[in-house]
A and B are shown apart, each in its own frame.
Chain A
Amino acid sequence: MHPEHRVEDLLRRSAPRVLAALVRHYGNFEAAEDAVQEALLAAATQWPRDGTPDSPLGWLIRVASRRITDELRSEAARRRREAAVATRAVPDELLAPAADAEDLRGSDDTLTLLVLCCHPSLSPPSQIALTLRAVGGLTTAEIARAFLVPEATMAQRISRAKQRIRAAGGRFHPPPEDERAERFRAVLHVLYLIFNEGYTATAGPDVHRADLAAEGIRLTRTVARTLPDDGEVAGLLALMLLTDARRPARTRPDGGLIPLAEQDRSRWHRAYLDEGIALITRTLARAPIGPYQVQAAIAAVHAEADRAEQTDWRQILGLYRLLEHLAPNPMVTLNHAVAAAMAGGPQAGLALLEPLDADERLSRHHRLHAVRAHLLEMAGDHDGARTRYLTAARLTTSLPEQRYLQERAARLIPDGE
């Protein structure tokens, strides 16, 4: 590994532990998070030049502590009060946890931080930004680049998110028992969104975003290590691995999208497929079922087919029925309709779409029209399919999707027209 990458990797892994140590000691999440970010930036410039210190965690905690005491002291001075917490010396107990490298508390802390960053008072974009900085150890500039907004905008979003958490009374504590399940669900959703931001990136200007998929997987792995018995965490990790495995095959060199049925499956990332399949198989056998596990199971069935024609659509259809029961939403119904059509013919799928027409929001969503176009094409109604593909192309706000849908429509123009 390149020395700079090694430093970066070390810093990213250390970030949540340094932050947890500081928050635990100083109690001020906002100030601690800023101090850690500054310490990480200092390390990123100094370590590749001067060498990595013997105790990287100790170094980061020391530098971040100095920043936070300076900050708290000047704030205290501003208020003309004695700075009770501000001592220049770094307390021993702060450095103690740094001694044992991979202790359990480190990963518990990461989970507690994730729960705090995914606080219900925040909108998903703020939860994502704060998670990437405080837990992922990314710089504001990196996050801004990934989301294609100016750095100042992202800095503002992050600092506002921290203020909101404080105003809402969020603290660095494991969530109370009665909120636990819901707060963990919010964390998993944010990790999924981070992954998806990266996964859906295509070539060209979005290339920075692709790193977000790797970051989503990395953070989910950390949570999975902390909660090895949680079926949904394992399910989410398996889903990410099985989805990301397709990345090398999902776009053409020019950024155009290749549908699942037409992907060159020999290009799928074998190691991710194997890990994902093994993980979901193990999990389904022992954990109570949940939506992420079912989605991972569907991805695993696709992964097990060497060619698209070998896909076991009956099994996928059964899994979509289960998913629709566990977590009903219109997007699931759309996929369910595709599975029904593949297993039992296009009319079976089209029948499932009918109730969705009544939903006004969905009728303006390109996916409903894209799925209906696809099923009409299967049924041989090329005129109907073409109209629907073009409607879908008009409604999507994604350039690669639009191109794909227009190409599908163009294929259906009868000869001589």
Chain B
Amino acid sequence: MKYLLLIHSNPENWGHPTFLRTAAARAMSSEQRAELSRQFETLMAEIVESGELVGGEALPDPAQTRTVRVRDGVPAVTDGPFVESKEQFAGYFLVDCESLERATEIAARFPDAGLGGAVEVRALMQHSGQEM
């Protein structure tokens, strides 16, 4: 099963990895911050090696976002993301893993999840189906 892991983070100024730029991480000692990076690298190495990581992308500063609505046939373009919230959508990872439980376990290991942000786990729809 494929799952999207959507990383929502709240860095003080935008940049990747976002978790190092959160208020909580900035208050840490440099050893603690290095440990966070190590944890993240270990997680990446593990899911690359297991063949679970399918792909992922990082997103630029949400200020660069445009939201487009078409009203009465006229596009209305506003600057900024569609959803207003403190936590911003910072990037995604696509994983192919055995179960929702495993995807959740991976999500919990993203440092952003522990630093005021959140990781959303969304299953992908499949084209396979069982007749009933």
Contacts and interface: CB of A to CB of B under 8 A. Distances in A.
A in complex with B:
yes
A134 to B, nearest CB: 15
Interface of B: 1-2, 48-55, 96-98, 123-132
Nearest to B102: A123
Contacts of B51: 125-126, 129, 149, 153-154, 156-158, 160-161
A388 interface: no
Contact of B125 (A156, A157, A402): A402
B130 to A, nearest CB: 6
B96 A397 contact: no
B97 to A, nearest CB: 8
A397 B131 contact: no
B50 A160 contact: yes
A72 B97 CA distance: 33
A380 B132 CA distance: 19
Contacts of A153: 51, 53-54, 96
B50 A398 contact: no
B48 A123 contact: no
A399 B96 contact: no
B96 A202 contact: no
Q: Which of B54, B96, B131 has the most CB of A within 10 A?
A: B131
Given A147-B96, A399-B125, A401-B129, 16 more contacts: A124-B98, A125-B98, A149-B96, A156-B51, A200-B129, A202-B128, A202-B129, A204-B127, A209-B128, A257-B130, A263-B131, A370-B132, A397-B1, A404-B129, A404-B131, A404-B132
A156 B49 contact: yes
Contacts of B123: 397
A133 interface: no
B132 to A, nearest CB: 5
10 contacts: A147-B96, A156-B48, A259-B132, A263-B131, A397-B123, A397-B125, A400-B129, A401-B130, A401-B132, A404-B129
A123 B98 contact: yes
A258 interface: yes
A246 to B, nearest CB: 8
A355 interface: no
Contacts of A263: 131
Contact of B130 (A147, A200, A402): A200
B132 A201 contact: no
Contacts of A157: 50-52
Interface string A155-177: 01110110000000000000000
A400 B129 CA distance: 6
Interface string A242-269: 0000000010000101111001000000
B104 to A, nearest CB: 13
B132 A374 contact: yes
A205 interface: yes
Nearest to A255: B127
A230 interface: no
Contacts of B128: 197, 200-202, 206, 209, 398, 400
Given A129-B51, A258-B131, A404-B132, A397 B126 contact: yes
Interface of A: 123-126, 129, 147-150, 153-154, 156-158, 160-161, 197, 200-202, 204-206, 209, 250, 255, 257-260, 263, 367, 370-371, 374, 397-402, 404
A206 B131 contact: no
A150 B54 CA distance: 7
Nearest to B50: A160
Nearest to A206: B127
Contacts of B124: 397
A200 B128 CA distance: 5
B1 A400 contact: no
Given A124-B98, A150-B55, A370-B132, A205 B127 contact: yes
For the complex of A and B, the 4 pairs showing the least CB-CB separation, nearest first, are A157-B51, A400-B129, A200-B128, A398-B129
Contacts of B96: 125, 147, 149, 153
Nearest to B94: A149
Contact of A160 (B49, B129, B130): B49
A229 B115 CA distance: 59
Contacts of A124: 98
Nearest to B129: A400
A400 B132 CA distance: 11
Contacts of A150: 54-55
A150 B126 CA distance: 16
A136 B132 CA distance: 30
A401 B128 CA distance: 8
A398 B125 contact: yes
A201 B129 CA distance: 7
A34 to B, nearest CB: 16
Contacts of A125: 51, 96-98
Contacts of A397: 1, 123-126
